[in-house]
Amino acid sequence: MTKRISATNLSRRKFIVGSAAAGGGLALGFNLPFMGAAEAATAAKAGTEINAWVVVKPNDTCVIRIARSEMGQGTETGLAQLVAEELECDWKKVAVEWVTPGQNLARKRIWGDMATGGSRGIRGSQDYVRRGGAAARMMLVQAAADQWKVPAGELTVADGVITHAASKRRTTYGRVAAAAAKLTPPDPKSIKLKDPKDWKIAGRPIKRLDTAMKLNGSLVYAIDLKLPGMLHAAVKASPVFGGKLVSYDESKISGMPGVRRVVKVHDNAVAVVADTWWHAKSALAALPIVWDEGSGASQSSAIIAERLREGLTATNEPFASWQDGGDALKTIAGAAKKVEAIYATPFLAHATMEPNNCTAKVTADSAEVWVPTQSAEAALAVTSEESGLPLGKCEVHKHVLGGGFGRRGGTQDYTRQAVAIAKQFPGVPVKLIWSREEDMAHDFYRPISQCKLSAGLDESGKLVGMHIRVSGQSINALLNPAGIKEGKDMRQLQGLWKEPGDAQFGYTVPNLLVEYAMRNTHVPVGPWRGVNTNQNGVYLECFMDEVARAAGKDPLEFRRELMAKHPKHLAVLNAAAEKAEYGKPLPAGVYRGIAQFMGYASYSAAVAEVSVSGEGKVKVHRMVLAIDCGHAVNPQQIAAQVEGSVVYGLSATFYGECTVANGCMRESNFHNYQLLRLAEMPRVETVIVPSYDFWGGVGEPTISVVAPAVMNAVYAATGKPVQSLPLKNLKLV
Candidates 172, 99, 160; CA nearest to 129 is 99
Complex with another protein: residue 210 or 292, whichever CB lies closer: 210
Question: Segment near another protein (CB under 8 A), from 401-409, 488-496, 546-554, 575-583?
Answer: 401-409
454 and 446 Cβ atoms separated by less than 8 Å: no
| Sheet with 155-158: strands ordered across | 155-158, 161-164, 169-172
Complex with another protein: residue 235 or 381, whichever CB lies closer: 235
**Residues 368, 427: Cα–Cα separation, whole Å:** 10
625 and 576 Cβ atoms separated by less than 8 Å: yes
State the number of CA atoms in the 13 A half-sphere of 592 facing the CB: 19
Least distance (Å) between residue 69 CB and another protein: 11
Phi-psi region of 581 (alpha: psi -120 to 50; beta: other; left: phi over 0): left
| Under rule CB under 8 A, residue 220 binds another protein | yes
When binding is defined by CB under 8 A, the residue of 74, 447, 465, 630 that contacts another protein is: 74
When binding is defined by CB under 8 A, the residue of 45, 285, 670, 720 that contacts another protein is: 670
When binding is defined by CB under 8 A, the residue of 66, 67, 79, 351 that contacts another protein is: 351
Complex with another protein: residue 18 or 404, whichever CB lies closer: 404
When binding is defined by CB under 8 A, the residue of 647, 698, 705, 714 that contacts another protein is: 647
Question: Segment near another protein (CB under 8 A), from 194-202, 304-312, 389-397, 636-644?
Answer: 636-644
Phi-psi region of 443 (alpha: psi -120 to 50; beta: other; left: phi over 0): beta
| Under rule CB under 8 A, residue 213 binds another protein | yes
Size of the site for another protein (CB under 8 A): 59
When binding is defined by CB under 8 A, the residue of 163, 644, 721, 724 that contacts another protein is: 644
Least distance (Å) between residue 202 CB and another protein: 17
**Residues 107, 373: Cα–Cα separation, whole Å:** 21
Question: Segment near another protein (CB under 8 A), from 219-227, 285-293, 548-556, 598-606?
Answer: 219-227
| Under rule CB under 8 A, residue 250 binds another protein | no
Give the contacts of 699 (CB within 8 A, at least 6 positions apart).
Answer: 73, 119, 121, 529, 600, 641, 645
Contact mark string toward another protein, 405..424, x via CB under 8 A: x-------------------
454 and 339 Cβ atoms separated by less than 8 Å: yes
| Under rule CB under 8 A, residue 103 binds another protein | no
Complex with another protein: residue 223 or 332, whichever CB lies closer: 223
Complex with another protein: residue 30 or 600, whichever CB lies closer: 600
| Under rule CB under 8 A, residue 251 binds another protein | no
Complex with another protein: residue 380 or 642, whichever CB lies closer: 642
Angle between helices 703-718 and 635-654 (to 10 degrees): 50
**Residues 130, 553: Cα–Cα separation, whole Å:** 48
Phi-psi region of 61 (alpha: psi -120 to 50; beta: other; left: phi over 0): beta
205 and 686 Cβ atoms separated by less than 8 Å: no
- Per-position DSSP letters for 347-389, written without gaps between them: BB----SS--EEEEEE-SS-EEEEE--S-HHHHHHHHHHHHT-
When binding is defined by CB under 8 A, the residue of 153, 217, 255, 614 that contacts another protein is: 217
**Residues 526, 532: Cα–Cα separation, whole Å:** 10
Question: Segment near another protein (CB under 8 A), from 35-43, 92-100, 244-252, 428-436?
Answer: 428-436
When binding is defined by CB under 8 A, the residue of 167, 211, 295, 298 that contacts another protein is: 211
| Under rule CB under 8 A, residue 214 binds another protein | yes
Question: Segment near another protein (CB under 8 A), from 22-30, 177-185, 286-294, 431-439?
Answer: 431-439
DSSP state of 169: E
Least distance (Å) between residue 437 CB and another protein: 8
Give the contacts of 171 (CB within 8 A, at least 6 positions apart).
Answer: 144, 147, 161, 162
Question: Segment near another protein (CB under 8 A), from 25-33, 79-87, 237-245, 646-654?
Answer: 646-654
When binding is defined by CB under 8 A, the residue of 3, 330, 619, 683 that contacts another protein is: 683
Least distance (Å) between residue 275 CB and another protein: 9
**Residues 711, 706: Cα–Cα separation, whole Å:** 9
Complex with another protein: residue 385 or 643, whichever CB lies closer: 643
Least distance (Å) between residue 282 CB and another protein: 8
415 and 394 Cβ atoms separated by less than 8 Å: no
Three-class DSSP category at 413 = helix
Phi-psi region of 237 (alpha: psi -120 to 50; beta: other; left: phi over 0): beta
| Under rule CB under 8 A, residue 530 binds another protein | no
Least distance (Å) between residue 459 CB and another protein: 46
- Which helix (H) or strand (E) segment holds residue 333: the answer is helix 328-333
| Under rule CB under 8 A, residue 498 binds another protein | no
When binding is defined by CB under 8 A, the residue of 63, 433, 618, 665 that contacts another protein is: 433
| Under rule CB under 8 A, residue 1 binds another protein | no
Residue 623: Cβ-neighbour burial (10 angstroms; 0-12, 13-18, 19+): buried
Question: Segment near another protein (CB under 8 A), from 215-223, 339-347, 494-502, 593-601?
Answer: 215-223
When binding is defined by CB under 8 A, the residue of 677, 692, 720, 729 that contacts another protein is: 677
Beta bridge pairs of residue 174:
none
| Under rule CB under 8 A, residue 660 binds another protein | no
Complex with another protein: residue 502 or 643, whichever CB lies closer: 643
Q: Interface residues for another protein in 353-372 (CB under 8 A)? A: 353-355
Complex with another protein: residue 207 or 252, whichever CB lies closer: 207
**Residues 132, 135: Cα–Cα separation, whole Å:** 5
When binding is defined by CB under 8 A, the residue of 525, 551, 601, 684 that contacts another protein is: 684
| Sheet with 259-265: strands ordered across | 259-265, 269-274, 231-237, 430-433, 357-362, 367-371, 394-398
Complex with another protein: residue 349 or 477, whichever CB lies closer: 349
238 and 268 Cβ atoms separated by less than 8 Å: yes
Question: Segment near another protein (CB under 8 A), from 40-48, 221-229, 339-347, 465-473?
Answer: 221-229
Radius of gyration, CA atoms only, the chain: 28
| Under rule CB under 8 A, residue 617 binds another protein | no
Residue 622: Cβ-neighbour burial (10 angstroms; 0-12, 13-18, 19+): middle
Contact mark string toward another protein, 153..192, x via CB under 8 A: ----------------------------------------
Complex with another protein: residue 75 or 471, whichever CB lies closer: 75
Q: Interface residues for another protein in 268-307 (CB under 8 A)? A: 276-278
When binding is defined by CB under 8 A, the residue of 150, 424, 643, 733 that contacts another protein is: 643
When binding is defined by CB under 8 A, the residue of 3, 13, 170, 207 that contacts another protein is: 207
DSSP state of 728: G
Angle between helices 12-21 and 37-46 (to 10 degrees): 120
Binding site for another protein (CB under 8 A): 71-74, 207-208, 210-221, 223-224, 226, 232, 257, 276-278, 351-355, 400-405, 433, 435-436, 636, 640, 643-648, 669-671, 675-679, 681, 683-684
